[in-house]
């Protein structure tokens, strides 16, 4: 019987099992991203810190992406996509398991170190998995294929949000921020240690799961698709080629602002919703949990929208759809800024439907047609995730002001995501007519 060679790599290995395993990795880093976003609020309460200090979680988390993306690309170029995936899983597991000694220290900063190591692993994973998926088939369907794999990322995100809400936030002490501030040092230390024991448990569990996935992939035959026979890299020539391509150059900028917008919208929905619901008379903890429930709804919408948008990509050019969704996201973000009460929360939830397409589509447009340069090009796009490290602390600094120009500061702070969506809309529009 003749084999279907469209499902085989050049070295005769089936794409099917490798595609499934690599797609699982998309869910795994989605879990890490979205169990972490609510921790900004959690750490702020546990250590009696400002929102700005709590947002250092995002600085450490997405800083790891930035620092490790380029070394990851060099590592992948020297070895293989599979090696990059394995290195990413190893660092992910180590970072998650380091939450135990961080808890034993009773200090905030070791947690930041654990997050940083964990996301060095995520940087390896994203730098490896995204171009690996693009290489598993024809160039004509590469963007759709990546969108399909990326559709499982929000499934992991939903799991992360669910665990954060039910196994962390719901089990932390119900004492409010003001009540915690009134505790003496002994009472504070006992409460802090109790809350940290709750917080670290899911991270330790996922660390063990990641180790199991590591050994499964280690033992699985993976295709060499996209792995060059030559391991030499003319760095300066590759960078010149990449920077000479408008779609790629502007794609890195667009990705920076998109990731910043995504993290801001998913992190500070907790602060935004808490203000709205406390104004309705809810206690702080009740308002926080309800805000996280809305965040889960937003992620569910994001997940469904990813599959819907992937379908529409059969009929609508990626740049056109990207630009249209960014415009709608900008309008909804304006509603978040101007609206009062739950209408603003509904607008913020709706933004997620528009964001679902953005990351993989920017990624796919930027890397289309660049061949072996995709390995280093992927690193630039992953380094652009630095937007998730730089922009959220800027938004947190605005929120800490409480009131800006007579408006709630948390509302005004969403001017930053609005600017981000304008940048993405411009990139989508320019990508339609771009020739290289």
Compute the distance between CA of residue 122 and CA of residue 112 in angstroms, rounded to an integer. 15
- Output the CA torsion 123→128→134→136 (10° steps): -150
3-state secondary structure (DSSP) of residue 403:
strand
Give CA separation, 197 vs 176, 178, 293, 364, 403, in Å: 18, 22, 23, 41, 35
3-state secondary structure (DSSP) of residue 407:
strand
Which pLDDT belongs to residue 223? 75
Pull the structure tokens for residue 94. Answer: 């180590």
Residues in Cβ contact with 187 at an 8 Å cutoff, skipping those fewer than 6 apart: none
Do residues 76 and 393 lie in contact, with contact meaning Cβ atoms separated by under 8 Å? Answer: no
Which pLDDT belongs to residue 1? 40
- Output the CA torsion 58→59→61→63 (10° steps): 150
Which pLDDT belongs to residue 4? 44
Which pLDDT belongs to residue 369? 74
Express the helix, strand and coil content of the chain in percent, nearest 5 each. 80, 0, 20
For the chain, state the CA radius of gyration.
Answer: 21
Q: What's the pLDDT tens digit per position in 97-137?
A: 999 999 999 899 999 999 999 999 998 998 888 878 877 76
Do residues 9 and 223 lie in contact, with contact meaning Cβ atoms separated by under 8 Å? Answer: yes
Which pLDDT belongs to residue 352? 93
Only one residue has tokens 């609206």, namely 339
pTM value?
0.75
Compute the distance between CA of residue 215 and CA of residue 397 in angstroms, rounded to an integer. 42
Beta bridge partners of 407: 404
Residue ranges in the chain modelled with pLDDT below 50: 1-6, 229-230
Compute the distance between CA of residue 251 and CA of residue 319 in angstroms, rounded to an integer. 11
Label residues 289-306 b or e (16+ Cβ within 10 Å = b). bbbbebbbbbbbbbbebb
């Amino acid at each position: 019987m003749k084999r279907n060679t469209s499902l085989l790599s050049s070295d005769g290995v089936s794409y099917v099992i490798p595609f499934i395993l690599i797609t699982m990795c998309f869910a795994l880093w989605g879990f890490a991203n979205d169990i972490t976003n609510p921790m900004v609020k959690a750490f702020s309460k546990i250590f009696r810190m400002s929102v700005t200090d709590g947002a250092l979680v995002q600085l450490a988390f997405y800083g790891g992406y930035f620092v490790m993306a380029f070394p990851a690309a060099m590592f992948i170029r020297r070895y293989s996509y599979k090696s990059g995936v394995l290195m990413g899983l190893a660092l992910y597991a180590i970072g998650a398991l380091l939450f135990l000694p961080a808890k034993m220290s009773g200090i905030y900063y070791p947690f930041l170190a654990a997050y940083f190591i964990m996301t060095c692993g995520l940087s390896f994973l994203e730098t490896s998995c995204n171009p690996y998926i693009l290489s598993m088939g024809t160039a004509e369907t590469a963007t759709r294929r990546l969108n399909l794999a990326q559709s499982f990322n929000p499934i992991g995100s939903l799991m992360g949000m669910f665990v954060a809400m039910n196994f962390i936030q719901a089990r932390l002490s119900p004492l409010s921020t003001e009540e915690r501030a009134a505790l003496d040092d002994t009472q504070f230390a006992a409460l802090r240690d109790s809350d940290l024991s709750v917080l670290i448990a899911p991270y330790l569990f996922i660390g063990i799961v990641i180790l199991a996935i590591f050994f499964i992939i280690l033992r699985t035959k993976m295709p060499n698709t996209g792995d060059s026979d030559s391991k030499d890299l003319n760095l300066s020539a590759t960078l010149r080629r990449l920077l000479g391509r408008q779609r790629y150059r502007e794609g890195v900028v667009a990705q920076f602002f998109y990731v910043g917008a995504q993290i801001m919208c998913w992190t500070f929905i907790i602060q935004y919703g808490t203000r709205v619901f406390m104004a309705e008379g809810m206690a702080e903890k009740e308002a926080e949990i309800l805000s996280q429930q809305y965040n889960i709804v937003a992620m569910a919408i994001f997940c469904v929208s990813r599959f819907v948008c992937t379908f529409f990509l059969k009929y609508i050019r990626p740049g056109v759809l990207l630009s249209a969704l960014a415009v709608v996201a900008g309008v909804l973000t304006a509603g978040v800024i101007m609206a009062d009460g739950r209408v603003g929360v509904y607008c913020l939830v709706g933004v997620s439907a528009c964001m679902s397409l953005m990351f993989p589509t920017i990624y796919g447009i930027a890397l289309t047609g660049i061949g072996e340069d995709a390995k280093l090009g992927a690193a630039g796009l992953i380094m652009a995730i630095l937007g998730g490290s730089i922009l959220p602390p800027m938004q947190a600094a605005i929120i800490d002001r409480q009131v800006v120009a007579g408006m709630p500061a948390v509302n005004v702070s969403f001017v930053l995501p609005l600017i981000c969506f304008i940048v993405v809309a411009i990139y989508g529009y320019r990508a339609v007519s771009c020739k290289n």
